[in-house]
């Protein structure tokens, strides 16, 4: 077949923002949504940090780096990503093992690798490498995947997830596992298998329960219901619920949240920042924020549906849905729906490492969308 | 494969994936709706509840630390109690500028450089939202001064706490031990939940071994606090449960007699009730004041204790290893009888020295002119070395070692206090393993009189003597007699579960050895005749002298001219009454010279105290 493949036409002379975005491989709608979210995030951070402008500046620097990373990734053709999937994955895995062996301990967990001039978390590389690899691997053959391919994918997902869970960083391990499992889901594994898997897990639980020691059962119960443990994990949840609940329908107003400003809400700039939002802007603000997340992910899903190869579809779909899983795990924890696992609210919580990875992920979405080959008219 | 097929496949795949994308989008919307419903519940339906909780007042949860169990001696005399003190504490998370706050506080309360550095030290390691002590033991005036200015210091408060106090001072320093600040290693081991609000944990002795039951159970209360973090109202509380009280076997009077009669000697005294294994006295000298450790010992005090050449922190009763010397002889004699090597009446001639067949090295008896013909009874009561050289040689080290094993030599006794040392009962295998050397026959002789490689702890000596006194009934030494749950009258006995009985072929052997030990005290030539003077019952005992350094073969030992540090260790073991034993004592006096002159009189004092006798001070026979 002979397509004439033109992405933009040099003959046009007038200044068009659409053309500029296309030239830079940027998706304008996605960028707009992200900037809106980041703006809201900075505003909330300013309030949650007790109006600490130096902290805002540090966050802005990180944001600059992260947006730069997004722009760079957007320039890479999806085919290159597919070609280097195995290398990226292997590289990430080696680093994970290195962390377990020589890692730098921070806050009681080994997650950091100190390279002399800077420290970084190999789990961030794996966050992108897993969906890229599984998508590339499954797209090699017709979909839905064979049982052997399915099992191989499960190993590819489970290995890094296990290593990260050992660090121990359960939150990240869950996110990485779900990013891979979402690719499998999108690749069309049969509903029978999905339902079978879920019911097998449900059936295994009581059996496992029966064989557990008393103290292990107690731990599981505390994990599921932290309020049983008011001096430990439950403390965060109790304070967080009070902050959210006292926000009411329209909130107490920006910078007016009493719970967050008095020192009682812990981790309020990081994992529990959603409680500050819910207190200051109420149900209305919190629901709007959730809608913004849904819209961004929705744009990502649209990009996935328009993609031109199975690899791109799977990858774009996984990145978009994982983004929502991120939000759900955090908000679920803060509102007391889910157990406490340390996952920040994406693109809003203070902290840099996950921001770079998240925006790099959106760079992939942009690359997929802007590298489409269009039929010439 | 044709390109047409791939193309068709691609189209099908797109439809498949897009279908799944749609499903995923719908699930996401559903899940997010659940979150919104949750928010509606919290923010609309339960708004008033949470709003009242948040409105000016906030909910705080504070731990209620349990009261540590008390410790009493066997007469009910208090050994460890909890006394109230006031300490200045800070929750660093609630303080905006720690340095400024400290310098302001220093104007109200005396804060030394050391207080500040200690505080910063603790600050590094503290748990989130936990109080960090700035200074302990505030005076009443300081309490008053701070209270008047309290409003200026959010996050800082005075805490009335109970801290451990040992009213008997040094007397039980080693046996009962002390509590101290929880350190990082302990933090790893303990259930942190249980220790919220608790600053101290048992470090040594009974305090450490019985930490679990002394500590109690933490409670907590939910309180409303105002903007300054002061408590306004209590919402709910779950009270704490105090730890169990402990009643010891130790007798304070006996402990005091033991401690005083050692005068300024270093050493150790252990007394036991052989019928129960109960430890009646457990003394190690020099000792120290355990109260120093309770709220963090100053580095100066600690250095002084640590660097003292007398090593006051070292528990000699459980860890001090001494050659048993002649106190081992009754056990060796019993081995000879039991293994059929000698009878009660077989005799050995003592010319004052002994040589191994084919060697000309002379192993000296302590009595240079010799004891003459000795049977077992004579040999024990006059402590003839030659008799035991010969007996040990005939037994051989293997049989000797195995027999002494039965009495627990070279093994921990299992006393209910941590960090006991196992001592050393030498054997061929031990020497091969630790020194990679063969066993020499001469070493068997030296072992037979309790010198050489033999290392025994005072508790081991008392334990073995108790087993001998009970004619083979072996019980683990037990310091704690009973425990009592807080607020109850019933005591729960902490008894000996492991009672062991040593099998002997002939029970007459026990009596023969006991008789020879009675002869030590009551015989005409016994080495400790003064101990038994005017006693209403018969006592069995054995003196011992442990060499601190070797003396050349023909050199005479002259205690007068030697420095005291080079004097021999004096040992004495005894039990009474000999036929129905109720009391066992083991005495080790470091550099005390001879067992009969220094150690034995102490045992007499202990017996007088224990049996409530009214006797004069004994006159050591010269």
CA atoms within 13 A on the CB side of B378: 14
Residue from the list B28, B32, B43 with its beta carbon closest to the beta carbon of A278 = B43
Interchain contact, A310 vs B18, CB within 8 Å = no
- Is the domain of B177 the same as that of B262? no
Domain holding B285: CATH number?
Answer: 3.40.710.10
Report the residue of A138, A245, A289 to disrupt the B interface, i.e. the one with the largest count of B CBs within 10 Å: A245
Q: Do residues B238 and B386 share a domain?
A: no
Give percent of chain A above pLDDT 70: 83
The residues, ordered by sequence, that sit 6+ positions from B65 with a Cβ below 8 Å of its Cβ are: B196, B197, B198, B218, B240
> What is the C-alpha separation between A332 and B37, in angstroms, rounded?
12
Phi, psi of B573 (to 5 degrees): -125, 150
A53: tokens are 């402008």
Test mutation, A178, A242, A269, chain B, max B CBs within 10 A: A242
Nearest to B58 among A142, A262, A305 (CB): A262
Residues B334 and B388 in one domain: yes
Which residues fall within 8 angstroms of residue A357, CB to CB, at 6 or more apart?
Answer: A124, A127, A128
Q: Are residues B220 and B334 in the same domain?
A: no
Partners of B571 in the β-ladder: B544, B588
Residue B617: strand, helix, or coil: coil
Domain span at B516: 252-295+320-483+491-611
Nearest to B51 among A246, A266, A310 (CB): A246
Q: Are residues B391 and B341 in the same domain?
A: yes
Residue at B308 is within a domain: no
Residues of A in contact with B129 (CB under 8 A): 235, 266
Which residues of B carry out catalysis?
Answer: 326
Average pLDDT over residues B202-207: 93
Per-residue pLDDT reduced to its tens digit, A143-198: 788 889 999 999 999 999 988 887 777 788 889 999 999 999 999 888 998 999 88
Over residues A129-150, the mean pLDDT reads 91
Give Cβ neighbours of residue A34 (< 8 Å, ≥ 6 apart): A296, A347, A359, A362
Q: Which residues contact A89 (CB under 8 A, 6 or more apart)?
A: A126, A129, A130, A132, A133, A156
Q: For the ranges A205-219, A287-301, B338-352, which has the lowest average pLDDT? A: A205-219
The pLDDT, as a whole number, for residue A206 is 82
* pLDDT interval class at A24 (50, 70, 90): confident
| Greater model confidence, B315 or B502 | B315
In this structure, the number of other CB atoms found within 10 A of the CB of residue B199 comes to 24
Query: Does residue B171 fall inside a structural domain?
Result: yes
The mean per-residue pLDDT over the stretch A46-52 comes to 82
> What tokens appear for B83 in the block?
């006394």
On whether both B29 and B16 belong to a single domain, the answer is: yes
From the CA atom positions of chain A, what is the Rg in Å?
A: 22
- Report chain B residues whose CB lies below 8 A from the CB of A178: none
Cβ distance B540 to B575 under 8 Å? yes
Residue linked to tokens 């018969």: B538
Radius of gyration over alpha carbons of chain B, in Å? 34
Is the domain of B157 the same as that of B290?
Answer: no
Mean pLDDT of B543-555: 65
Same domain as B505, residue B412 = yes
Let me know whether B395 and B330 are in one domain.
yes
* Helix or strand holding residue B34 (H, E): helix B3-40
- Flag if A263 and B94 touch (Cβ within 8 Å): yes
Provide CB contacts within 8 A for B285, sequence distance 6+: B259, B262, B265, B266, B267, B268, B316
The count of structural domains within chain B is: 3
Does one domain contain both B282 and B371? yes
Answer yes or no: is pLDDT of A217 > 80: no
Tell me whether residue B417 is in a domain.
yes
Same domain, B211 and B353: no
Residue with tokens 């073995």: B464
| Same domain assignment for residues B14 and B118 | no
- Select the residue from A246, A294, A337 to test the B interface by mutation, using most B Cβ atoms within 10 A: A246
Domain boundaries, chain A: 28-63+227-371, 76-211
Band of residue A375 on the pLDDT scale cut at 50, 70, 90: very low
Q: Do A287 and B36 touch (CB under 8 A)?
A: yes
How do residues A93-121 score in pLDDT, each as one tens digit?
998 888 877 765 544 455 666 554 445 67
Report how far residue A362's alpha carbon sits from residue A29's, in angstroms, rounded to the nearest whole number: 12
B43:A283 CB<8 A = yes
Taking only the tens place, the pLDDT of each residue in B127-166 is: 666 778 888 888 888 888 888 888 888 888 888 888 899 9
Q: What is the pLDDT of residues B495-515, one digit of tens each?
A: 766 677 887 778 889 999 999
Domain-terminating residue out of B55, B83, B99: B55
């Amino acid at each position: 077949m002979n397509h004439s493949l033109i992405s933009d036409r040099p003959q046009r002379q007038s200044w068009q923002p659409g053309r500029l975005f296309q030239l830079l491989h940027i998706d304008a709608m996605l960028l707009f949504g992200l900037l809106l979210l980041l703006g809201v995030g900075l505003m909330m951070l300013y309030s949650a940090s007790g109006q600490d402008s130096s902290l805002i500046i540090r966050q802005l620097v990180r944001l600059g780096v992260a947006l730069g990373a997004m722009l760079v990734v957007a320039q890479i053709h999806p085919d290159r990503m597919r070609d280097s999937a195995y290398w990226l994955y292997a590289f990430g895995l080696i680093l994970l093992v290195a962390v377990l062996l020589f890692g730098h301990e921070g806050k009681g967990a080994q997650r950091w690798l100190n390279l002399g001039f800077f420290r970084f978390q190999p789990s961030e590389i794996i966050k992108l490498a897993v969906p890229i690899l599984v998508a590339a691997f499954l797209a090699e053959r017709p979909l839905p995947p064979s049982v052997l391919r399915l099992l191989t994918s499960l190993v590819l997902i489970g290995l890094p997830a296990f290593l990260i869970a050992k660090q121990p960083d359960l939150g990240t391990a869950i996110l990485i596992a779900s990013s891979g499992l979402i690719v499998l889901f999108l690749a069309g594994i049969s509903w029978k298998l999905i339902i079978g898997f879920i019911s097998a897990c449900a059936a295994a639980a009581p059996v496992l329960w029966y064989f557990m020691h008393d103290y292990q059962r107690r731990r599981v119960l505390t994990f599921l219901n932290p309020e049983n443990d008011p001096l430990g994990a439950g403390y965060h949840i109790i304070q967080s619920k009070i902050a959210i609940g006292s926000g009411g329908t329209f909130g107490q107003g920006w910078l007016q949240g009493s719970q967050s400003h008095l020192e009682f809400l812990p981790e309020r700039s990081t994992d529990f920042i959603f409680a500050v939002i819910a207190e200051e802007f109420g149900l209305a603000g919190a629901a709007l924020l959730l809608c913004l997340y849904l819209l961004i992910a929705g744009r990502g899903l649209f990009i996935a549906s328009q993609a031109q190869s199975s690899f791109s579809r799977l990858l774009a779909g996984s990145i978009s849905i994982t983004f929502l899983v991120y939000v759900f795990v955090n908000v679920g924890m803060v509102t007391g729906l889910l157990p406490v696992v340390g996952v920040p609210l994406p693109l809003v919580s203070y902290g840099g490492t996950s921001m770079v990875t998240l925006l790099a992920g959106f760079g992939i979405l942009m690359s997929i969308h802007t590298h489409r080959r269009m039929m010439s008219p | 494969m044709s390109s047409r097929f791939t193309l068709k496949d691609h189209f099908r795949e797109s439809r498949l994936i897009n279908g799944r994308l749609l499903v995923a989008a719908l699930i996401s919307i559903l899940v997010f709706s659940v979150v919104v419903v949750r928010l509606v519940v919290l923010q609309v339906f339960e708004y008033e509840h949470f709003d009242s909780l948040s409105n000016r007042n906030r909910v705080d949860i504070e731990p209620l630390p349990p009261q540590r169990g008390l410790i009493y001696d066997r007469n009910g005399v208090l050994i460890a109690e909890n006394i109230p003190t006031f300490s200045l504490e800070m929750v660093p998370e609630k303080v905006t500028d720690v340095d400024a706050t400290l310098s302001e506080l220093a104007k109200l309360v005396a804060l030394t450089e050391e207080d500040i550095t200690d505080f910063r030290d603790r600050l590094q390691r503290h748990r989130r939202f936990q109080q960090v002590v700035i200074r302990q033991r505030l005076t009443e005036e300081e309490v008053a001064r701070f209270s008047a200015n309290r409003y200026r210091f959010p996050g800082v408060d005075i805490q009335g706490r109970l801290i451990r106090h040992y009213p008997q001072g040094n007397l039980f320093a080693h046996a009962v031990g002390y509590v101290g600040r929880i350190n990082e290693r302990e933090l790893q081991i303990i259930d942190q939940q249980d220790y919220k609000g608790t600053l101290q944990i048992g470090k040594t002795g009974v305090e450490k071994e019985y930490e679990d039951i002394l500590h109690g159970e933490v409670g907590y209360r939910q309180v409303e606090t105002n903007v300054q973090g002061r408590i306004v109202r209590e919402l709910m509380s779950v009270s704490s449960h105090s730890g169990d009280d402990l009643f010891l076997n130790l007798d304070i009077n006996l402990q005091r007699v033991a401690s005083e009669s050692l005068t300024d000697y270093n050493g150790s005294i252990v007394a036991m009730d052989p019928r129960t294994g109960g430890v009646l006295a457990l003394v190690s000298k020099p000792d120290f004041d355990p109260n120093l450790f309770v709220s963090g010992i100053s580095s100066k005090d600690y250095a002084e204790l640590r660097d003292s050449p007398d090593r006051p922190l070292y528990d000699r009763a459980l860890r001090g290893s001494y050659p048993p010397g002649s106190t081992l002889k009754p056990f060796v004699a019993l081995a000879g009888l039991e293994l059929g090597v000698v009878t009660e009446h077989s005799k050995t001639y003592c010319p004052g020295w002994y040589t191994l067949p084919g060697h000309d090295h002379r192993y000296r008896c302590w009595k240079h002119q010799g004891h003459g013909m000795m049977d077992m009874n004579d040999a024990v009561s006059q402590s003839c070395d030659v008799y035991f050289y010969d007996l040990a040689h005939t037994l051989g080290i293997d049989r000797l070692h195995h027999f002494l094993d039965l009495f627990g030599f070279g093994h921990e006794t299992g006393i209910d206090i941590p960090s006991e040392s196992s001592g050393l009962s030498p054997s061929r295998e031990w020497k091969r393993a630790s020194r990679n050397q063969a066993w020499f026959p001469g070493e068997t002789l030296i072992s037979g009189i309790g010198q050489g490689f033999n290392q025994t702890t005072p508790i081991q000596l008392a334990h073995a003597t108790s087993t001998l006194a009970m004619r083979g009934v072996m019980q683990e030494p037990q310091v704690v007699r009973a425990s009592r749950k807080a607020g109850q009258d019933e005591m729960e006995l902490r008894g000996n579960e492991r009672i062991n009985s040593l099998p002997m072929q002939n029970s007459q052997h026990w009596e023969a050895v006991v008789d020879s030990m009675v002869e030590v005290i009551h015989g005409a030539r016994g080495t400790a005749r003064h101990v038994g003077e005017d006693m209403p019952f018969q006592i069995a005992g054995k003196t011992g002298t442990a060499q601190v350094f070797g003396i050349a073969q023909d050199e005479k030992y002259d205690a007068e001219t030697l420095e005291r540090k080079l004097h021999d260790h004096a040992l004495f073991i005894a039990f009474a009454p000999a036929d129905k034993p109720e009391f066992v004592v083991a005495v080790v006096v470091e550099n005390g010279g001879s067992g009969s002159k220094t150690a034995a009189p102490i045992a007499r004092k202990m017996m007088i105290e224990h049996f409530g006798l009214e006797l004069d001070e004994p006159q050591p026979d010269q």
